[in-house]
């Protein structure tokens, strides 16, 4: 609880006061160089999300996966070169990411408005925030001034993105490696309140948890009735790689507390979801927000998003401002 109370007070100013590159991120970074930048991004989100309701979930996931590899530098958006499949987006955790075209179209509009000014990293951070807010989720500060990275390596994505099979110790270490804490782990996991997952990311919990195989070999930490429903209606075979399931059944398009309620009932899809209630402090934080007003979750989630958005950012003369988000500039 102490960790949660401390995080409630986190503001963008507090997060960015740590010095170094972080301190160079400021709200309104483009107020002179491209005054309409943030409005252009928000307007595009508001116009197109109603026709693509899965966008908020995929953008926030893409932002998360970006920040955990080389910092928030849009390296996850880069294509591999030379016909290889060795960029971050080619790594298994990123193969189901969507929304690259969405970011590209925003970038194209901004390039016409202010050529070579607004980074892809900032576009991703702002669009993720605006899309979540559009569907009724929280609003958080997005200080800007990030620069785009020029390196994207598949193996680094495999090494740094927390796996859905992680236990609590592994999850916490992964977050601590990025200067995030236990509370950040709990609150950022709350993004699973929206979106979907493919069967291959959790089917081992349904069919082959210990290696014996079959529907009798389910993860004992998963509610048996929920597991049976998933086997019957979603992941009908252990080898199903294409069927999708809602992360938060019944409200997967709504940013609310139902994800945490499901976790407390042992109905989280991933082992990493179930892991949250194996730690006493994490479980206590979940109970606090579930039993509190909705705005409490929004506030702590927003604080953790500000922290995540400042991970190892490139600013000043570091990196570049890409002309196209999928390609490093030609020099």
> How far, CA to CA in Å, does 249 sit from each of 55, 193, 246, 269?
18, 9, 5, 10
103: phi then psi, degrees, rounded to nearest 5: -65, -40
> Which residues pair with residue 320 across a beta bridge?
148
Specify whether 324 is catalytic.
no
Could you tell me if 135 and 252 are in contact, meaning their C-beta atoms sit under 8 angstroms apart? no
- Is 73 annotated as ligand-binding? yes
Is 256 assigned a ligand-binding role in the annotation? Answer: yes
Q: Is there a binding annotation on residue 115? A: no
Tokens of 311: 């991970």
- Asked if 69 and 156 touch (Cβ cutoff 8 Å), the reply is yes
Asked if residue 189 belongs to a known ligand binding site, the reply is no
- Spatial separation of the C-alpha atoms in residues 76 and 67, rounded to whole Å: 9
48 assigned ligand-binding residue: no
43 is in an annotated binding site: no
> 61-88: b or e for each residue (b if 16 or more CB lie within 10 Å)?
bbbbbbbbbbbbbbbbbbbbeeeeeebb
State yes or no: 248 annotated in a binding site: yes
State CA 30 to chain mean position distance. 24
Residue 193 in marked binding region: yes
Q: Which of 48, 65, 266, 331 is catalytic?
A: 65
Please state, in angstroms and as integers, the Cα–Cα distance from residue 113 to each residue in 31, 38, 94, 116, 316, following that order.
13, 12, 30, 10, 22
- The annotation status of 184 as a binding-site residue, yes or no, is no
| Separation between Cα atoms, residue 220 and residue 224, nearest integer Å | 8
Q: Which residue has the tokens 């993004």?
A: 191
3-class DSSP assignment, residue 198: strand
State the Cα–Cα distance between residues 326 and 86, nearest whole angstrom.
14
Q: Are 63 and 309 spatial neighbours (Cβ–Cβ below 8 Å)?
A: yes
User: Which residues belong to the annotated binding site for Ca(2+)?
Assistant: 66, 69, 71, 73, 75, 88, 193, 248, 256
Q: Which residues belong to the annotated binding site for heme b?
A: 192
Q: Which amino acids are annotated catalytic?
A: 65
**Binding site for substrate, residues?**
162
Q: Which residues are annotated as a binding site?
A: 66, 69, 71, 73, 75, 88, 162, 192-193, 248, 256
């Amino acid at each position: 609880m102490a960790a949660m109370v401390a995080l409630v007070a986190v503001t963008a100013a507090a997060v960015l006061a740590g010095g170094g590159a972080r301190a160079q991120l400021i709200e309104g970074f483009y107020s002179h160089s491209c005054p309409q930048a943030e409005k252009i991004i928000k307007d595009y989100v508001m116009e197109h999300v109603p026709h693509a309701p899965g966008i908020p979930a995929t953008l926030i996931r893409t932002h998360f996966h970006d920040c955990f590899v080389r910092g928030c530098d849009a390296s996850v958006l880069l294509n591999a070169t030379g016909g290889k499949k060795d960029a971050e987006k080619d790594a298994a955790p990123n193969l189901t990411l969507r929304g690259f075209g969405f970011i590209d179209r925003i970038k194209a509009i901004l390039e016409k408005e202010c050529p070579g000014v607004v980074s892809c990293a900032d576009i991703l951070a702002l669009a993720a925030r605006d899309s979540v807010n559009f569907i009724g989720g929280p609003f958080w500060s997005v200080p800007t001034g990030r620069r785009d990275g020029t390196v994207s390596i598949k193996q680094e994505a495999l090494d740094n993105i927390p796996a859905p099979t992680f236990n609590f110790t592994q999850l916490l270490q992964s977050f601590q490696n990025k200067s995030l804490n236990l509370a950040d782990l709990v609150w950022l996991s709350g993004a699973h309140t929206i979106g979907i997952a493919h069967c291959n990311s959790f089917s081992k919990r349904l069919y082959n948890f210990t290696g014996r195989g079959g529907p009798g070999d389910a993860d004992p930490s998963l509610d048996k009735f929920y597991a049976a429903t998933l086997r019957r209606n979603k992941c009908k075979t252990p080898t199903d790689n294409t069927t999708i399931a809602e992360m938060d059944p019944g409200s997967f398009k709504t940013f609310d507390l139902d994800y945490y309620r499901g976790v407390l009932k042992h109905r989280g899809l991933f082992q990493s979801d179930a892991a949250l209630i194996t730690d006493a402090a994490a479980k206590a934080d979940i109970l606090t927000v579930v039993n509190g007003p909705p705005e409490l979750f929004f506030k702590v989630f927003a604080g953790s998003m500000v922290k995540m958005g400042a991970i190892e950012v490139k600013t000043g003369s570091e990196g570049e401002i890409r002309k196209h988000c999928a390609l490093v500039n030609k020099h």
